[in-house]
């Protein structure tokens, strides 16, 4: 297609953000065997990792569009992050996920992002802010039983999670630093400060701990810039310390609207088993200290896995001021077959001890399994993929004999940042499924998607009281010269919305990226 291509392929290494189009495409190329095997469970990628991943040849659908090659230039380099505008329309109620800082309410939501990147030796800088405005039209709210701003809070547990149904009654506008990072990569170590999104674990749509459903939060990080050979295999890890903020519609007191987070994630790639990665991660929410960050906070992700806290031993875990989430995960890629399979098992809160873990491992737990299959067609100029994920975080049968609550709730804030869930929204006491067919060609991409989300209030003696959403959608990405246009639509039907009547919603999206 002459109109789809351009004279010079574009350099897009500065746009490999978590959940971005380029990052998703690189994963497809890896499963197809076109880029080297590399762990995918700690993202975003460092410049050194990108130098390894951006080594595709010319035998793939977008070879004439994107310059997927390592950065071999020396000296000071600048790169423009192509300006992108987005419009999202919801006809009846808010709908959307995994779109970072953007919150798409009812009506029209518009967003614009642009920026630049620079690299000099081991130093790199990315500045990619985003601004969005949601018309935030009104719709019937589920009653919370609370006055004032808390009337907009989560209807099921307004005092335990900062997850507003609506961000007030007026248009909602925010300027966010977005995918911005300052880092140094030297001697195999990476360190820096960032507000960019991270994704922990192998999931694409339903991560348990961290993904791009909410805005990235301000954090410092320290870890390996690429996997390190330790004989039996290679290890790769990262530690993170950051600041989480409330939305203004939580039940938190005015002097406790932000928290300290501390977390760590590590992966192991066994020697002699290509494509396999195993990992573990921990994420702590801690009260923000008023007189400096204590060392206990810094090293909290590395304390004993089965540490027993006195408040928990006394059965008073609800008053423990901190909260832990942890997961184990695995991913296995078979590039000769064009297949990847992966899974994750997550828990919230400490066990009392090892015996408690072995007796009831499904207490406050969730699991996710997923797969992807890639078919190469027309000598590599077209790819078709089938992918899917299933997440189950519903309150288990243990509720009949032991107190249990939905995941992600704790001390008025929950596992959130600025009113959006840090992991998968479906993991808040529910379940989610995702299935998609993607077709990549030299002119762009076509996708057909189906989503299902279950919101379970945890009332096990009323098993039919479930809030279930189905969404069927289509999306296209079109290359036109130096312009890229993304257009999509979803038909959304929600059974028992907020345990009330059924409701339907039409979601439409239009995005334009300008090549410079």
189, 157, 140, 246: which is closest to 497 by C-alpha? 140
- Give the residue numbers spanning the domain of 256: 13-514
How far apart CA 215 and CA 198 sit, in angstroms, is: 10
- For 346, counting Cβ atoms within 10 Å of its Cβ (0-12 exposed, 13-18 middle, 19+ buried), the class is buried
Residue whose pair of structure tokens reads 């299935």 in the numeric block: 435
- The model's pLDDT over 440-490, given as tens digits with 9 standing for 90+, comes to 999 999 999 999 999 876 554 455 578 999 999 999 999 999 999 999 999
Q: Which two tokens stand for residue 435?
A: 């299935």
How far apart CA 148 and CA 165 sit, in angstroms, is: 14
Does the residue 5 lie in any domain?
no
Does the residue 3 lie in any domain?
no
Does the residue 246 lie in any domain?
yes
- 171 near 313, Cβ under 8 Å? no
What percent of the chain shows pLDDT beyond 90?
A: 71
Does the residue 385 lie in any domain?
yes
- 24 near 372, Cβ under 8 Å? no
Mean per-residue pLDDT over the chain, rounded: 89
Does the residue 414 lie in any domain?
yes
Does the residue 244 lie in any domain?
yes
How far apart CA 489 and CA 380 sit, in angstroms, is: 29
Count CB-CB contacts under 10 A for residue 499.
Answer: 15
- The model's pLDDT over 261-291, given as tens digits with 9 standing for 90+, comes to 999 999 999 999 999 999 999 999 999 988 8
Query: Can you give the CATH number for the domain in which 299 is found?
Result: 2.40.160.130
For residue 316, pLDDT over 50 is answered with no
Q: What is the 3-state secondary structure (H, E, C) of 55-98?
A: CCCCCCCCCCCECCCCCCCCCEEEEEEEEEEEEEEECCCCCCCC
Does the residue 8 lie in any domain?
no
Phi, psi (rounded to 5 degrees) for 87: -130, 135
How far apart CA 193 and CA 124 sit, in angstroms, is: 11
How far apart CA 497 and CA 66 sit, in angstroms, is: 43
Does the residue 310 lie in any domain?
yes
For residue 310, pLDDT over 70 is answered with no
Structural domains of the chain, count: 1
């Amino acid at each position: 297609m002459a109109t789809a291509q351009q004279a010079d392929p574009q350099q897009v290494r500065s746009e490999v953000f978590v959940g971005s189009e380029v990052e998703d495409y690189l994963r497809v190329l890896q499963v197809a065997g076109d880029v080297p095997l590399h762990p995918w469970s700690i993202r975003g990628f460092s410049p050194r990792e990108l130098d390894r991943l951006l080594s595709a040849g010319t035998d793939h659908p977008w070879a004439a569009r994107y310059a997927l090659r390592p950065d071999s230039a020396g000296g000071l380099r600048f790169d423009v992050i192509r300006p992108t505008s987005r419009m999202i329309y919801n006809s009846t109620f808010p709908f959307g996920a995994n779109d970072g800082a953007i919150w798409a309410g009812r009506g029209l939501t518009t967003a614009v992002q642009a920026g630049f990147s620079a690299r000099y030796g081991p130093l790199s800088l990315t500045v990619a802010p985003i601004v969005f405005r949601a018309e935030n039209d009104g719709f019937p709210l589920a009653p919370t039983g609370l006055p004032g701003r808390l009337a907009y809070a989560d209807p099921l547990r307004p005092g335990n999670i900062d997850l507003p149904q609506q961000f007030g009654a007026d248009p909602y506008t925010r300027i966010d630093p977005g995918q911005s990072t300052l880092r140094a990569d030297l001697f195999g170590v990476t360190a820096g400060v960032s507000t960019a999104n991270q994704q922990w674990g192998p999931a694409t749509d339903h991560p348990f701990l961290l993904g791009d459903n909410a805005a990235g939060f301000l954090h410092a990080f320290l870890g390996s810039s690429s996997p390190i050979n330790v004989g039996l295999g290679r290890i790769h890890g990262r530690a993170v310390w950051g600041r989480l903020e409330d939305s203004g519609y939580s039940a938190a007191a005015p002097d406790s609207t932000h928290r300290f987070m501390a977390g760590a994630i590590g992966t192991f790639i066994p020697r002699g088993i290509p494509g396999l990665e195993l990992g573990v991660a921990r994420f702590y929410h801690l009260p923000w200290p008023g007189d400096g960050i204590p060392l206990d906070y810094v090293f909290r992700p590395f304390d004993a896995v089965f540490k027993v806290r006195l408040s928990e031993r006394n059965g008073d875990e609800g008053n423990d001021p901190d909260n832990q989430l942890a997961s184990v995960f695995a991913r296995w890629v078979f590039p000769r077959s064009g297949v990847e399979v992966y899974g994750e098992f997550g828990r919230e809160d400490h066990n009392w001890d090892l015996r408690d873990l072995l007796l009831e491992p499904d207490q406050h737990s969730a699991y996710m399994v997923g797969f992807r299959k890639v078919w190469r067609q027309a000598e590599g100029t077209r790819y078709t993929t089938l992918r899917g994920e299933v997440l189950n975080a519903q309150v288990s049968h243990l509720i009949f004999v032991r107190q249990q609550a939905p995941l992600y709730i704790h001390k008025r804030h929950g596992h959130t940042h600025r009113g959006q869930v840090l992991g998968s929204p479906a993991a808040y006491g529910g379940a989610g499924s995702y299935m998609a067919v993607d077709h990549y060609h030299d002119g762009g991409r076509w996708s057909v998607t189906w989503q299902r989300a279950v919101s379970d209030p945890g009332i096990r003696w009323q098993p039919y009281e479930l809030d279930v959403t189905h969404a069927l959608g289509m999306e296209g990405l079109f290359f036109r010269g130096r312009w890229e246009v993304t257009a999509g639509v979803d038909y959304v039907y929600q059974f028992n919305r907020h345990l009330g009547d059924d409701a339907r919603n039409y979601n439409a999206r239009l995005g334009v990226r300008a090549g410079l």
